[in-house]
Structure 1
Amino acid sequence: MIRLEAVTGHTRLARRGPVYYHRAAVPQDIKDSYPKAEETFSLKTKDRAEALRLVRLAAVEVDRRSDEHRRKVGLERANILDDLTPDQIALTKAAYFRHLLDEDEDTRLGGFVELDDDGRVMGDLPEDPLPTFEEHGEVSEDWATFTRHQYARGKSDAFWRDEADEVLGWEGINLRLSPSSPSRPRLVRALQEAVLDASEAIRSRQMGIVIPTPKAPSAPSPEAPLLSGKVREWIAEKSRADWSEKAQDDHRQSNARKLVMP
């Protein structure tokens, strides 16, 4: 393959055969975080005068992208905290608790699938199948059981570390925490406490007791998946890797019944 060679007229102008290119190394101050080592691309012309015009425009755009990347990296690094205050941890815990109860309330407002005595769906199956009332309670109890197991032992796995970063990024919190921060174990423990507190509230709701969802000054990200398939997968994984057979027998809830079309 023909190599690129620099040509006169502009410091970023290069040529491969008859075709002209823009070529520039990424600035030293952002090279460690930039996704490529240099900005090299065809100007799609063989005409020198046109290439000189296009390379000037390309250089402005490349510099703009570099400046934007530099700005974002600077903001990210400036917002990374080495530690969290007790108030920040309490805020994060409260937001997580609110979101758990808010999600539970949304599920109840959406309605549950009803099954007859033979385990068949009563009525038309929704396009997006909803859980049964019993399944909803079982998922909450399962998650609480495994969370209680970890909380009692002061354990923190990859799930909780990722969850902590996700919640810190929610609207109204907007914090970034260093991976090596000594606050991480305390933050994870606070989130586990929120799950246990929420499970008690959800258990009461399952019995028809009124448990209001706390008001929040700003809602957490609606895209945050919590009591969803992600949690079911986590429970299954922890059952395989973290619990003894006896503990599983003692604590595992009954498996959710499958929805079967009539």
Structure 2
Amino acid sequence: MSFKTIVAILQSEQDAGRVLDCAIPLATGLQSHLVGIHAESVPVPYTSATGFPDTEFLQVSAEMNKERAEKLQALFLKRVEGSGLSFEWRSLETFSGDSGLSGISTVRAADLVVAAQSESGGDGNADVGSLVYDAGRPVLVVPHAGPVVTTFKTVLLAWNGTREAARAAFDALPFILAADKTEVFVVDPPDNQDDDGTAGSEIAAALARHGANVSVAVRKADGASVEDVIQSRMTETGADLLVLGAYSHSWLRRLLFGGVTQSVLRSGTVAAFLSR
């Protein structure tokens, strides 16, 4: 298995460069077909003081949208033309203007989606959380700061025994096999871990059969949040990729307490591979 179709979500000029810094080397190394997607929102008419639609506003909005879309298309083409890559560009116009969600039919036909981490309070961010939830395909989230890494040497697989974690582990297999080492990391395993395999030994053995270099580590949270424990372990191991089963808890728990997925999407410091 390999990632033969990669979709790059280019929502704004601020995130496009980092997304392409990740997607293009990946597509080149894997000899993948690269699809760039950008969406603009349909201008919403405002009523003037006389009660008629503000046509001037609509025209200005449409021109600004067109200019932004053309800039991102030009950036994409400049980066990929002459690279030898198989590629295509898709420019969309929808009511949401969200490049990931607007291009969901293309996303669902991809092996891997590359999107930028949403900056807290940033304008024009794609809704990466909804993209991860709805895509049905793995999403590689590029952090908004720090170096962009595309050759992952140390992978941390956050394992809690859920279907989402299992999906992420096997979706990420190309990266896991290419890495020097992968650690299956378990936080607060249940008392019956020997029966249900959530301590990580079974998934580690399964990955090892594919040829991965895998180890297992188990930690108690001891009152700390799971996301903080994972982040600390990322620092300890020097991991450059976090593999995570996204949204593995109920919506009510996420609403009340947040979750690891939201923390990664908001403030993760390394690339994160999310699947569900």
TM bucket, shorter chain? under 0.3
Bigger share in strand: 2
**Structure 1 length as normaliser, TM-score?**
0.24
Bigger share in helix: 1
**Structure 2 length as normaliser, TM-score?**
0.23
